[in-house]
Structures are given as C-alpha cells and as structure tokens.
Amino acid sequence: MIEIRRTWRTICVAVCAIVASSAGIARAETSLTKEEARGKMIFEQDCIFCHGVKGQGRGIASASLDPKPKDFTDAEAMAKLSPETIVKAVTEGGEAVEASPVMPAFGQQLSAKQIRAVVAFLATLSKK
C-alpha cells in the first residue's frame, strides 16, 4: 500500500512539473506580438531544419552544412544585421547578402508580409 502511494505521488509530481513547464511555455509565447507569433509558425515550418528549434543554428541538417547556419540567439551578431539585410537573405537567399550560399531563397514561397513576420520573430530570439 505504501509503495502504491509513493508511485502515485511520483506520478502526480511529474504531471505537475509538466503542467507547470507547459504553462511557462504558454506564457512565453503569449508575450509575442501577433506578427512575431505568425513568424514563429513560419520559422517552425521552414527554418528549424537548419537553424534548430531555438534558432541556435543547430538543426538536424546543420551537421552537414558549411558554413553553419546563423545562430539567431547571438545578440552581438544579430545586432550587426539590419532588418533589411535579414529580409533580403530570407527573400533572395544567403548568397544575396554575402552569407552562406547554402541558405535558400524563400521569396517565391513566402509573401513579403510573411517574411517580415519571420524577421520580427527572429529579433525576439536574441533578446535576453
């Protein structure tokens, strides 16, 4: 009987921890503007393969890429890039801004509004 109580207690603690963690994630996501949230959805669909879930340049494809994908969480590096440069990179590909020639152009599949949303979301990744 005591062992069953311990097991249930462990399960309850684990469930509470998961719920608390999920609530924290939900709170973090609600701090995004509507445009940033749209950009996040596009990022998750088109960019995480190379740039990773957190935008650190560690996506599953990054191991085989040279140069490595941009780390959008690097505040110092991101501060050196204008929003216009990032828009151009997303629209025309990395080579258009003298960055990685491996970075594909998304100008044919994303609208200008969608690209601005992605750029707005990327800006949130380097804020601390």
Domain chopping of the chain, boundaries? 1-31, 33-125
The chain-wide mean pLDDT, for the chain, equals 85
Predicted confidence at residue 127, as pLDDT, reads 85
**Rounded CA separation 65/50 (Å):** 8
pLDDT at 1 over 80: no
Cis peptide before 104 (omega within 30 of 0): no
- d(CA 61, CA 52) in angstroms, rounded, equals 9
Q: What's residue 5's pLDDT?
A: 45
Residue 124 has pLDDT above 70, yes or no: yes
Q: With bands split at pLDDT 50, 70 and 90, how would you rate the model's confidence at 17?
A: very low
Domain range 33-125, CATH class = mainly alpha
Count CB-CB contacts under 10 A for residue 94.
19
pLDDT at residue 25 is higher than 60: no
Q: Please give the model's pTM, rounded to 2 decimal places.
A: 0.75
Distances (CA, A) of 94 to 4, 11, 15, 37, 107: 58, 48, 43, 24, 12
Mind listing the pLDDT tens digit for each residue in 52-75? Answer: 999 999 999 999 999 999 999 999
Q: Which pair of tokens denotes residue 20?
A: 């608390």
